[in-house]
Amino acid sequence: MTEEPTKTEVVDNELEDRFEVWYGGRLAGFAAYRRRGGATIFVHTEIADEFGGKGLGTVLARRALDTTVERGETIVPICPFISAYLRKHPEYEEHVRWPDSQAADPADPAGR
């Protein structure tokens, strides 16, 4: 008997302002964001310890970024995980606005 692969799904939970990755019907992690002025600002990404090592962070980041691009929004990476993912994937570069390190509010890259 062959074991069926565990289903992985990424959903945009707009009520919670986060993309969620579900693994085998269980919430495995999320990428929290704020949407403002045509941009999606990624502020925090987390994968539960029990789901570590399955590549779910990569699946989550790719789908969240692809969805942001599909919406025509700019990606603003505050979150270190999303920032690191973007540095390894230059195909997103034209859609990224790197935050200004001098901004008063890190969630507002323009410093307003």
pLDDT of residue 3: 52
Cα(104)–Cα(107) distance, integer angstroms: 9
The model's pTM: 0.85
Give 25-48 pLDDT, tens digit per residue: 999 999 999 999 999 999 999 999
Q: What's 8-93's CATH class?
A: alpha beta
Nearest to 64 by CA among 52, 54, 53, 76: 76
Beta bridge partners of 22: 9, 27
State the pLDDT confidence band at 6, using cuts at 50, 70 and 90: confident
Looking at residue 79, what is its pLDDT?
97
Contact 50, 21 (CB under 8 A): no
Q: What is the pLDDT of residue 105?
A: 45
Q: How far is the CA of 4 from the CAs of 1, 26, 60, 86, 92, in angstroms?
A: 9, 16, 21, 32, 33
- Which one, of 28, 30, 37, lies nearest residue 15 by Cα? 30
- Spans of all domains in the chain: 8-93
